[in-house]
Chain A
Amino acid sequence: EIVLTQSPGTLSLSPGERATLSCRASQSVSSSYLAWYQQKPGQAPRLLIYGASSRATGIPDRFSGSGSGTDFTLTISRLEPEDFAVYYCQQLRAFGQGTKVEIK
């Protein structure tokens, strides 16, 4: 069973700053199965990235994904006020525990 570990647990940043979120798998995984989701309070998760680096329809280009093997990264180039949320990585049918991006 593959375990996904996200870090940090919480990221405190200001609008306009760059956010770098990590997702590490317990063993090598196919990047084609790696996706990222954003979840805001009281809402369902929203797909941001699939295939490790492909943006979903309608997702702004400030969101980007990268990585391979066991290490994957979601980068938000310049945080907008609406980007403060919890982010989850997913590999097949397993999810990481989430990273909360909060306003500093």
Chain B
Amino acid sequence: QVQLVESGGGLVKPGGSLRLSCAASGFTFSDYYMSWIRQAPGKGLEWVSYISSSGSTIYYADSVKGRFTISRDNAKNSLYLQMNSLRAEDTAVYYCARENSYYGSGTHYLWFDPWGQGTLVTVSS
């Protein structure tokens, strides 16, 4: 079945670095855009970054631009998020999600499905 499994979360000090991974299975990974979305404790969802299917197009939320780097390895069916200069406000559960994008009747549709189970990143001294 279609599945996304994140790993790499943990406790890190402010200013530190962490690399998250997302392993995909059950679908042709190289056909899809992928996103990282985070959720601070008790808060809502915040989109963080996306990468195109080939990796040639990348966007970041302003809150992480210049500190986070998204990448993918289509041969390994894997998505990554390198997080540097971490701050307390980066504390969150980080989800990877597949972007579903298709054109129907001349209209472009976009939604996120599936999502991984999430990995917790805690930034604290």
A interface residues with partner B (beta carbon < 8 Å): 30, 32-33, 35, 37, 43-47, 50-51, 56, 88, 90, 92-98
Contacts and interface: CB of A to CB of B under 8 A. Distances in A.
Chain B interface extent, by class: 20 to 34
Interface of B: 35, 37, 44-47, 50, 59, 95, 100, 107-118
B45 A51 contact: no
A96 B109 CA distance: 18
A44 B38 CA distance: 10
Contacts of A32: 107-110
Interchain residue pairs A-B with the least CB separation, the first 4? A50-B111, A47-B113, A44-B115, A35-B111
B115 A45 contact: yes
A44 B116 CA distance: 7
A26 B109 CA distance: 20
Given A93-B35, A95-B46, A98-B44, A44 B118 contact: yes
A26 to B, nearest CB: 16
B122 to A, nearest CB: 16
Most buried by B among A32, A37, A46: A32
B108 to A, nearest CB: 6
B118 A90 contact: no
A45 B100 contact: no
B116 A33 contact: no
Nearest to B96: A44
Contact of B111 (A30, A43, A47): A47
A47 B109 contact: no
B38 to A, nearest CB: 11
A97 B46 CA distance: 9
A88 B111 CA distance: 12
A49 B113 CA distance: 11
